[in-house]
């Protein structure tokens, strides 16, 4: 157990966007960087932290595939969600002017998002494994002709100077994070509750169609349904779903009960309050 100081794990270097999500959603928790998603989960399972922050999908690049495989096997539970706007900053060593920058380094998914800005200033982009890691490298490099695209938090951590803010081509780019805990929490903490679960359908004709029928007939809004292969098999498919409502709601109870008739496996991953402000802003 982490003692009096509550902690939350995230994947990436200090200053990564997952670190930013920890600051925004759980400011009273000390953030612990981890090398991989598996390490992030294991830190929580081992009791080194109290919570874990995992990105599950991005409005531009879609789902984070590794997470969909990791969540059902983790033994952990979703207790909250958080949406973080990806705001890209161009940073450099202190005292460097924008017209001195000839190249920037960033994670490969960030570079295309600032294409117009980089082209307009004649700056070349170079791919890096991690944007926050690139900021850490730049801070000790002495290179006054290079910059990094990363979060403003990364600039603060590594003592870099922000030369331009919000340089992304599109302002809608948002990442949805799930906050995980060792124990489930089914308490009602918001007006709109979300339930996330995974299931596998039986090998019968129209099984998925029949499995989904209960949600339609009971008026339960399913906001996400995604499929992915299990163990690399083309015939073993697992589905990941988000619905609006709480398992204790009569309509949700009936829909889940009907679902069980057409499935070989059903597991609830979490029940949590929806981030309604962020969801309404996306709509």
Domains and CATH numbers, the chain: 7-86+173-181 (3.40.190.10), 89-164 (3.40.190.10), 193-282 (3.30.70.260)
Q: Between vectors from CA 39 to CA 35 and to CA 40, what angle results, nearest 5°? A: 95
Cβ partners under 8 Å of residue 73, min gap 6: none
**Pick from 271, 211, 265, 283: nearest CA to 243:** 271
Cβ burial, residue 58 (10 Å; 0-12/13-18/19+): middle
SS3 content of the chain, % helix, strand, coil (to 5): 30, 35, 35
Per-residue pLDDT of the chain (283 residues; tens, 9 = 90+): 445 889 999 999 999 999 999 999 999 999 999 999 999 999 999 999 999 999 998 887 778 877 878 898 899 999 999 999 989 999 999 999 999 999 999 998 899 989 999 999 999 999 998 999 999 999 999 999 999 999 999 999 999 999 999 999 888 889 999 999 999 999 998 889 999 999 998 877 888 888 899 999 999 999 999 887 766 555 557 899 999 999 999 999 999 999 999 998 999 999 999 987 766 665 5
What single-letter DSSP state applies at residue 33?
E
Provide the pLDDT for residue 232: 58
Residues forming the active site: 175, 177
- Asked whether the beta carbons of 238 and 228 are under 8 A apart, the reply is yes
CA distances from 263 to 5, 208, 210, 244 (A): 42, 9, 10, 20
**Coil, strand or helix: which one is 174?**
strand
Provide the pLDDT for residue 42: 97
Question: Which residue is associated with the tokens 């002709």?
Answer: 145
Distance CA 15, CA 37 (A): 16
């Amino acid at each position: 157990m982490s003692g009096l100081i509550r902690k939350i794990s995230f994947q990436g270097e200090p200053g990564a966007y997952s670190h930013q999500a920890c600051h925004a959603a759980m400011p009273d928790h000390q953030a612990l960087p981890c090398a991989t998603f598996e390490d992030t989960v294991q830190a929580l399972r081992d009791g080194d932290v109290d919570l874990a922050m995992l990105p599950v999908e991005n409005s531009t690049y879609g789902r984070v595939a590794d997470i969909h495989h990791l969540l059902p096997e983790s033994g952990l539970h979703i207790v909250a969600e958080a949406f973080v706007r990806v705001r890209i900053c161009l940073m450099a060593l202190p005292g460097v002017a924008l017209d001195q920058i000839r190249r920037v380094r960033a994670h490969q998914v960030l570079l295309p998002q600032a294409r117009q800005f980089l082209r307009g200033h004649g700056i070349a982009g170079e791919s890096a494994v991690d944007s926050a890691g690139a900021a850490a490298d730049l801070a000790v490099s002495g290179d006054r002709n290079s910059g990094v695209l990363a979060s403003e938090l990364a600039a603060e951590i590594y003592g870099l100077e922000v030369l331009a803010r919000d340089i992304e081509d599109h302002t809608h780019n948002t990442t949805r994070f799930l906050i995980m805990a060792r124990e489930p929490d089914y308490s009602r903490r918001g007006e709109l509750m979300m339930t996330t679960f995974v299931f596998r359908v039986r090998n019968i004709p129209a099984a998925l169609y029949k499995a989904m029928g209960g949600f339609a007939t009971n008026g339960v809004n399913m906001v996400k349904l995604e499929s992915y292969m299990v163990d690399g098999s083309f015939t073993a498919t697992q589905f990941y779903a988000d619905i609006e409502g709480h398992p204790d709601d009569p309509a949700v109870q009936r829909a889940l009960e009907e679902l069980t008739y057409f499935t070989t496996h059903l597991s609830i991953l979490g029940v949590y309050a929806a981030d309604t402000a962020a969801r309404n802003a996306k709509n």
